[in-house]
Amino acid sequence: MGLVFFLCAPALEAEEGPQATHKLAAESGFGMALAVGEPSALSAKLWISEASAINASFGWSFYRRTPEGMRKRGAPHAYIDYLYHFFDRVKARTGKFVYFMGVGVEGAYMDYNDRFHEKIFMGMRFPFGLSYMFPNAPVDVFLELGPSIVVMRGMSFDMSACLGIRYWLF
């Protein structure tokens, strides 16, 4: 909980949007990423304003919660998030560090029994993280945590975490 406060508290004081006189490649357009973690996935991000973006991901979750507890049997996993970015919270000599947080939905298909209604996992995500945008390359790296509340198959808590690299196509 302290990490969430650490990431959110600076946003209460500062102005929104990029403050630099020029934009980095990672501050606009469309990019594709490879994220490693839980789940590991391919991700697409599209900026929709100076501080907002839509991020969608499809990948493989290696550990899934079942009614019997955690299992190592994996499952396809997808999510889509609305992300808001807070620029210039952490100063860097070159490039930019950017905090982000958002809200989204996630789903997974788990084939661990014959009852279809128990194979679908759906939840609300509340992702947050930190991204570093390189100054002279259309690339950024990011660390993201995604706590979620499972709303289909009963109420429970879930967590995702990944480290990724994104290439900005345009």
- Is residue 159 within 8 Å of residue 144, measured between CB atoms? no
62 within some domain:
yes
pLDDT of res. 113: 56
Cβ neighbours of residue 18 under 8 Å, at least 6 residues apart? Answer: 27, 50, 51, 87, 88, 96
15 within some domain:
no
123 within some domain:
yes
The pTM score is 0.80
101 within some domain:
yes
Average pLDDT per consecutive 10 residues, the chain (170 residues; last block may be shorter): 39 38 71 96 96 96 64 81 92 91 91 60 94 93 95 81 96
pLDDT of res. 89: 84
Domain that holds residue 52: 2-8+30-168
pLDDT of res. 114: 52
pLDDT of res. 62: 82
Q: Per the structure, how many domains does the chain have?
A: 1
pLDDT of res. 2: 40
45 within some domain:
yes
CATH code of the domain covering residue 162: 2.40.160.20
105 within some domain:
yes
